């Protein structure tokens, strides 16, 4: 299947790639086993806590389409939110080798997504809303630590016509950092998407500024890209950071990538 066109643009259906996701045992594995990748209760924990990787099991997963809104040469930075309004989202993404489950250090994890009104920087207006466009908001990435962890601060994404709420992601190795704060070169190891629990998204979407989005929202079940594969297909584990959706969420996922 293909994604519903947006002003003439469409996303191709995802192709199957040999990639793995590291799934921690214990409570995390138990949660994933029943298909509930969300802990929607208040907590004092933040996304600075590295997911447990001991006694892990690697499983195959799919790559996802890059989509029509990728831009090269984005900034290397840990906070991509700029001045965008929305509920805080603290991502902790752990990158490991798919064969050995060893964390990959100095891998560039790049993400990009739409704002609360479903607009991408560089393409504002494609979702029917008029707002300033600087070409950089909600885009960027960071290098992983020695533990393979990339921590990125952003806002909970909105939605655009024909797609559920999601974040695009790429993993690169051997990039060159540039003097203007961007990166070039390297090898692209993974292209995928991150997805969000439907119950949490419904709560977020009912509140301002998300409720101002005039485009009907596509659910996970209706989406042409997400295949109900849970964490193996990019479904984040979400943890509420406070007593209401406006306090934001921590989102975690461990990605296995194939090197060479």
Domains, the chain, with CATH or none: 19-188+202-219+230-257 (2.60.130.10)
Place of tokens 């950089």: 136
Distances (CA, A) of 66 to 110, 171, 221: 12, 12, 20
- Give residue 46's pLDDT: 38
Instruction: Yes or no: say if 3 and 162 are a contact pair by the CB < 8 Å rule.
Output: yes
Pairing between strand 237-240 and 38-39? parallel
Phi/psi for 143 (5° steps) reads -85, 140
Where the chain has pLDDT below 50, the residues are 1-10, 12-57, 60
- Give residue 9's pLDDT: 45
- Give residue 21's pLDDT: 37
Q: Check the CA dihedral 156-157-163-167 and report its sign.
A: negative
- pTM of this prediction? 0.81
- Give residue 140's pLDDT: 98
- Give residue 36's pLDDT: 36
Cα–Cα distance for residue pair 260/253, rounded to 1 Å: 22
* Residue 198, burial from CB neighbour count under 10 angstroms (0-12, 13-18, 19+): middle
Phi/psi for 212 (5° steps) reads -80, -10
Instruction: Yes or no: say if 233 and 35 are a contact pair by the CB < 8 Å rule.
Output: no
- Give residue 232's pLDDT: 84
pLDDT tens-place string over residues 146-197 = 999 999 999 999 999 999 999 999 999 999 999 999 999 999 999 999 999 9
């Amino acid at each position: 299947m293909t994604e519903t066109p947006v002003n003439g643009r469409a996303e191709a259906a995802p192709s199957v790639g040999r990639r793995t996701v590291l799934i921690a045992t214990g409570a995390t594995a138990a949660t994933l086993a029943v298909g509930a990748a969300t802990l929607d209760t208040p907590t004092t924990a933040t996304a600075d806590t590295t997911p447990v990787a001991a006694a892990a099991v690697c499983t195959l997963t799919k790559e996802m389409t890059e989509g029509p809104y990728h831009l090269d040469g984005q900034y290397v930075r840990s906070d991509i939110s700029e001045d965008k309004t929305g509920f805080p989202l603290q991502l902790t993404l752990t990158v490991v080798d798919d064969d050995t489950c060893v964390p990959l250090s100095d891998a560039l994890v790049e993400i990009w997504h739409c704002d609360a009104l479903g607009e991408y920087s560089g393409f504002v207006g494609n979702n029917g809303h008029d707002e300033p466009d600087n070409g950089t908001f909600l885009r960027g990435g960071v290098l992983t630590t020695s533990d393979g962890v990339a921590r990125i601060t952003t806002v909970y994404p909105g939605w655009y016509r024909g797609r559920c709420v999601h974040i695009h992601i790429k993993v690169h190795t051997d990039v060159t950092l540039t003097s203007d704060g961007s990166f070039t070169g390297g090898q692209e190891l993974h292209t995928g998407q991150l997805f969000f629990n439907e119950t949490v998204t419904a709560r977020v979407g009912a509140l301002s500024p998300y409720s101002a989005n005039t485009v009907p929202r596509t659910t996970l079940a209706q989406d042409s890209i997400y295949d109900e594969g849970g964490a193996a297909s990019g479904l984040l584990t979400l943890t509420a950071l406070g007593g209401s959706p406006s306090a934001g969420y921590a989102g975690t996922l461990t990605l296995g990538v194939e090197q060479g």
